[in-house]
Amino acid sequence: MKEELYTKEEEKHLKVGIYTALVIALIACVYVMNKNSLAHKESGNYYSIDARFNRTDGLLVGDKVRMAGVDIGRVVNAKLDDHFKAILTLEVKEGINIPDDSSASIVSSSIMGEKYIEIEPGGSMDYIPQGGEFSYTQDAMVLEELVDRIINIGKSNRKNAENKK
């Protein structure tokens, strides 16, 4: 007598699960391929600027560079310097001159959203040249660290309230 590993209902659930996983994987592949092809379709001339960060958590090559909420370029390269800081190379559309006292920050579109670089323009009349580097940068905020800080503040406030009683 042949022993069955699964009941007919379990086999049905297993097949549905496998098909669902395959569909999700296919959708993810199509999304990644479309995102990459859209990034390459942007036309125009660009110039490169470097930005040095202590950490870039979640920011990837190909992510957007924005100024005042408008896309002006993208991240095209990431590497480490001799002091283990991340050097990101940004391509910015020609014709957009960035004052040399501007800052570059890694921000997120929402709590769990994709990250991008936001450029805050300075007031200088001199501009960052092709191949130049930002003087001011702000690292990515790590969600886990932010939650830990909030929890620690709450614990501290609770402890202070208990001590006052």
What is 1-23 written as a DSSP string? -PPPSS-HHHHHHHHHHHHHHHH
Its pTM surpasses 0.95: no
Q: What is the mean pLDDT of residues 46-66?
A: 91
3 pLDDT band, cuts 50/70/90, is low
pLDDT of residue 132: 92
Residue 109 tokens read as: 């579109």
pLDDT per position as a tens digit, 20-45: 999 999 898 788 777 655 555 556 79
Q: Which residues pair with 52 in a beta bridge?
A: 87
Residues 6+ apart with CB under 8 A from 161: none
pLDDT of residue 6: 76
pLDDT of residue 1: 53
Do the beta carbons of residue 53 and residue 85 sit within 8 Å?
A: yes
Q: What is the mean pLDDT of residues 68-74?
A: 93
E strands in the chain: 46-53, 64-67, 70-80, 86-93, 103-108, 115-120, 136-138
pLDDT per position as a tens digit, 76-132: 999 999 999 999 999 999 999 999 999 999 988 776 778 899 999 999 999 999 999
pLDDT of residue 5: 76
pLDDT of residue 83: 92
* From 19-23, 56-60, 117-121, 142-146, the region with the lowest mean pLDDT: 142-146
